[in-house]
Structure 1
Amino acid sequence: MSDAEQPLPDPGVVQHEHPDVTGGWLRPAVFGAMDGLVSNFALMMGVVGGSSGSGTKPVVLAGLAGMAAGAFSMAAGEYTSVASQREFALAQVDIERNEILHNEPAEEAELAAMFMEKGVDEGTAREMAHEVHRDAEKAVRVHAREEFGVDVDDLASPMLAAMSSFFAFAVGAIIPLLSYLAGIESAWPAIILSCLGLFGCGALVTRMTARNWLFGGSRQLALGGAAAVLTYLVGEAVGASALG
């Protein structure tokens, strides 16, 4: 029996599974946590630098306000962004549906040409396109996926993206606050916790990429640490000038 005549393997025996790389929760969750930790850590260090001798109340207030404002802002922005993207995609799908309903022969030929570009021979490509176009809605889905990369059945959810972003930002933003909320007045525990959080977040992200965990953690620690140091210096300069 030739290779071409060999039966296809049973899909049921395939054991590996891929994570959801197109859903609406992963990106806002990752960036929300990173943004929450970096921005609130930097904000609090700026207040520490500018309010020396004023106790911890200004720092805690700034941290809590930064966490609340940032979480709501991230959620609102993510909802608007994903909703707009989804609406745009659906508008393009409607245009494609109208073309298929009113100019089906040309659309079927276009789909066959796309199959041929992928290496399918002409006869098979035409048969595949004809079979797809037996069902108009199936044709719409296939054209949308092939022409502009949209899976109509797997569009990102604006609400899911917004909620993921909200909670992830809040989780990241509360890390620098933990020691202050526990009653510790020194800034060093908050700095240590934040640095550990930065490294941990950077290392965790590499589990979903091809990067080395040490590289990812160190990079995030360097970037977040630099933001906090610079904001501390700005706060110190502003505080000193205000006192002067």
Structure 2
Amino acid sequence: MTETPAALREAHHADVSGGWLRPAVFGAMDGLVTNIALIAGVGGGGVSSHSIVLTGSAGLVAGAISMGLGEYTSVRSANEQVAAEVAKERRELERHPEAEARELADAWVARGLPRDLATQVAEAVRRDPEEALRVHVREELGVDPDDQPSPWAAAISSFVFFSLGALVPLLTYLFGSTELWLALAVGGLGLFAAGAVVARFTRRPWWTSGLRQLLLGAAAAGATYLIGSLIGVQGGL
């Protein structure tokens, strides 16, 4: 059975609008950087291994909940805004169909189509109200009203991947180590690996993507370690 052009297109391209990849990537990176920085900060202050685990665990739970709720609210609010604009466009098409068709034709003429052809296509589209609505929304808002990201997918992806990322720098302590440098090294490996995985979706060189994430995490950890050391020294005076 011959595949349709739409099916071939879907198989050829990655899913960039499903609502899970961006929050998953952001969640994993944020979890890694947040807990690496937290552990570096309290470790630099000279606290016990138990306090580091407690701080890292609290950061994992609080951060994962915050990220999940934030993603859900953000995506749902964006979808609701799109729905409101779609409803507005539907009313405009019902009240002023001729003017809306001319507006659509003008947009296509601005892109280089001949006026006659643009007008003919706009008139053909106008005969199907639902298709006209979809076309106008895509042209005027730049979104597909039938392909909006899921707030639940975004929330769950963010929650799960933040938790996984935040767990990585805690692993050495959970397995009995008391060495801060080892926890930070494992966290750094996690950052590099996460950046390399992201390169698979972005088609960038894996080593540059991994190195970029490692350097960003190292900068955050260095800053919090310095602050922790200063506060720890002051607290001991």
Same fold (TM over 0.5): yes
* Aligned residue in 1 for 2:19: 24
Q: What 5-or-longer segments of structure 1 have no aligned partner?
A: 1-9
Greater mean deviation of Cα atoms: 31-40 or 196-205: 196-205
Deviates more, 1:182-191 or 1:90-99: 182-191
Quick one: which amino acid aligns to residue 76 of structure 2? A
**Counterpart-to-counterpart distance in 1, 2:70 and 2:34:** 16
3-state DSSP of counterpart to 1:152: coil
Asked whether 1:125 is paired with 2:118, we answer yes
Q: Secondary structure at the match of 1:153?
A: coil
Q: Quick check: 204-213 or 181-190, which moved more? A: 204-213
What's the % identity of the aligned pairs? 51
Work out the CA distance in 2 between the residues paired with 1:118 and 1:233: 55
C-alpha distance in structure 1 between counterparts of 2:5 and 2:66, whole Å = 44
Task: Say whether residues 1:163 and 2:146 are aligned partners.
Answer: no
Residues 19-54 of structure 1: per-residue CA shift (max 9 Å, x gap): 1112211111111100000010110111111134x3
- Which residue is equivalent to 2:28? 33
Encode CA deviations 1:120-160: one digit per residue, 9 max, x unaligned. 32222222111211121211111000111110001111111
Q: Which has the larger radius of gyration?
A: 1
- The CA distance in 2 between the partners of 1:149 and 1:23, in whole Å, is 16
Determine the structure 1 residue equivalent to 2:39. 44
* Whole-angstrom distance in 2 between the partners of 1:13 and 1:68: 41
Deviation at 1:239, TM superposition (A): 1.4
Choose from 64, 70, 73 the match for 2:63.
Answer: 70
- Report 1:42-191 matches (<5 A): 42-52=37-47, 54=48, 56-191=49-184
The question of 1:11 aligning with 2:2 is answered no
Q: Give ranges in structure 2 of 5+ residues lacking alignment.
A: none
In structure 2, the residue matched to 1:197 is 190
TM-score (norm. length: structure 2): 0.92
Aligned length: 233
CA spacing shift, 1:26–1:13, aligned 2, 3 Å: closer
The alignment's C-alpha RMSD in Å is: 1.8
Give how far 1:14 is off: 5.1
2:225 maps to 1:232: yes
- Quickly say closer, same or farther: Cα 1:12–1:173, change in 2 above 3 A: closer
- Deviating above 4 A after TM superposition, structure 1's stretches of 4 or more consecutive aligned residues are 12-16
User: 1:218 aligned to 2:211?
Assistant: yes
Contact 1:51–1:58 (CA<8 Å) still a contact in 2?
no
